[in-house]
């Protein structure tokens, strides 16, 4: 009995420390599932444990350990409240940004959201250029409900004289079909790789037309597809829980990737929906999952240019596709700095060497390769490198932190005004802003 009692007390101490840490870090993207109902359960559990300890006279004992245990379990509700207070103060501060500055910086942000009320103020005041919709926005809902929600947000833009929202999603086909259901679930483009050239081109274009028609019917005008990463020649990394390039890549043959992706984009664009090719500089050779870990691409530039980068150059030169840059560092160009905020990669390679003057956007900045490091530096360096759009997808509430990074940099003169002007010109040319 004594042993079991000691184990129980030890578990209470460990559990208390874990729950306090969860409360303190409540605003972290990894703890998104705790928000809302999760926080209520956390607080209720804390109160229940305190009640149990008090009833067992832990508070009245002279043992400091017993009293400290009670105090420990009193802390989680306070930690949650403090974290919420920090978020609300930051949110209030951002929403008080000078309207001119808010609209100037806001044209560079695309934000995911969980409810209409969460994103409506940002839409109406010009703090963002676009929204990202995914499976959380359609769970338990009809396509008509999402269509009405998007239309209502666009109406708010029109009412205040702001340009239409960019409305984006991830509808690649295969395992990444975030709006299916209610939309049609198509196979991955990889399923077409072994068909005869004419047949795969026709089917890829038809896949694009189906996606385009269905997305356009909801009011979605940008698809984060197709994937141009080459299929890895190694088995799946057991620590790759999210990227799953081996299941999403079209082929390991650059020519096939270019042909299938180009046809798909043509079909997508024919329905009025723009494409976004990803994830430059390519994830086919990368073992780490950038959703959680930093990653490097150590291959020489000449080899990359002839293989991994060939589909990107082919497709970008023959379509109006946007380019999504991932969080992989190209060692030969800018070691240690993810391509998504590397001036050597974005301005040096993509803009100057390739002469690509279209829209460049980051992969989700709420990914471990960025967020677990200096996310403020990433935001500022991305804008100064010539990135046009910053994506805040998985946890849209992180927008307030990232936007504050940008406004703080603007206040101290840390943003390159020439780069911002060039970016605004590109956005205007792409008709993403007035």
Catalytic residue numbers read: 291, 363
Contact (Cβ atoms closer than 8 angstroms) between residue 359 and residue 322: yes
* 34: DSSP letter: G
CA distance 31 to 141: 24
Cα–Cα distance list, 363 to 121, 176, 188, 291 (Å): 24, 15, 20, 10
CA distance 157 to 99: 15
Residue 365 CB contacts under 8 Å (≥ 6 apart), including other chains: 340, 371, 375, 378, 379, 390, 391, 392, 398, 402
* 389: DSSP letter: B
Identify which of 75, 92, 99, 85 has the alpha carbon closest to the alpha carbon of residue 22: 75
User: Three-state DSSP class for 336?
Assistant: coil
Residue 253: other Cβ atoms inside 10 A:
16
> What tokens were used for 386?
């010539």
Here the contacts of 234-238 (C-beta below 8 Å, separation 24 or greater) are 234/287, 237/287, 237/288, 237/289
């Amino acid at each position: 009995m004594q042993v079991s009692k000691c184990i129980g007390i030890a578990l209470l101490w460990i559990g208390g420390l874990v729950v306090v840490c969860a409360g303190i870090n409540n605003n972290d993207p990894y703890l998104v599932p705790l928000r809302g109902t999760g926080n209520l359960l956390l607080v209720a559990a804390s109160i229940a444990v305190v009640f149990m300890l008090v009833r067992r006279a832990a508070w009245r004992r002279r043992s400091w350990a017993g009293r400290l245990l009670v105090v420990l379990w009193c802390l989680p509700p306070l930690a949650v409240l403090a974290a919420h207070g920090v978020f609300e103060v930051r949110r209030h501060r951002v929403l008080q940004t000078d309207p001119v500055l808010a609209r100037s910086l806001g044209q560079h942000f695309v934000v995911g959201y969980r409810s209409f009320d969460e994103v409506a103020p940002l839409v109406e005041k010009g703090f963002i250029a676009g929204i990202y919709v995914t499976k959380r926005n359609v769970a338990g809902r009809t396509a008509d409900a999402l269509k009405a929600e998007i239309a209502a947000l666009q109406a708010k833009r029109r009412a205040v004289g702001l340009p239409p929202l960019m409305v984006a999603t991830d509808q690649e086909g295969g395992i990444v079909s975030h709006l299916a259901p209610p939309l049609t679930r198509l196979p991955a483009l990889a399923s077409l790789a072994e068909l005869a050239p004419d047949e795969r081109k026709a089917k890829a274009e038809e896949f694009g037309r189906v996606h385009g028609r269905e997305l356009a019917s909801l009011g979605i005008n940008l698809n984060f597809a197709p994937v141009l990463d080459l299929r890895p020649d190694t088995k799946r990394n057991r620590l790759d829980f999210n990227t799953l390039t081996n299941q999403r890549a079209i082929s390991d043959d650059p020519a096939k990737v270019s042909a299938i992706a180009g046809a798909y984009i043509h079909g997508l664009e024919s329905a009025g929906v723009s494409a976004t090719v990803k994830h430059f500089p390519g994830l086919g050779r990368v073992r780490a999952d950038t959703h959680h870990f930093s990653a490097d691409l150590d291959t020489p530039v000449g080899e990359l240019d002839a293989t991994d980068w060939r589909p990107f150059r082919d497709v970008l030169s023959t379509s109006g596709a946007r380019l999504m840059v991932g969080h992989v560092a190209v060692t030969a160009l800018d070691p240690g700095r993810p391509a998504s905020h590397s001036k050597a990669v974005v301005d040096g390679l993509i803009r100057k060497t390739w002469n690509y003057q279209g829209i460049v956007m980051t992969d989700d900045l709420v990914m471990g390769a960025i967020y677990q490091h200096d996310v403020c530096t990433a935001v500022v360096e991305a804008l100064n490198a010539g990135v046009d759009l910053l994506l805040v997808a998985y946890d849209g509430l992180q927008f307030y932190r990232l936007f504050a990074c940008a406004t703080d940099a603007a206040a101290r003169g840390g943003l390159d005004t020439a780069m911002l002007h060039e970016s605004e010109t590109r956005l205007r040319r792409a008709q993403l802003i007035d």
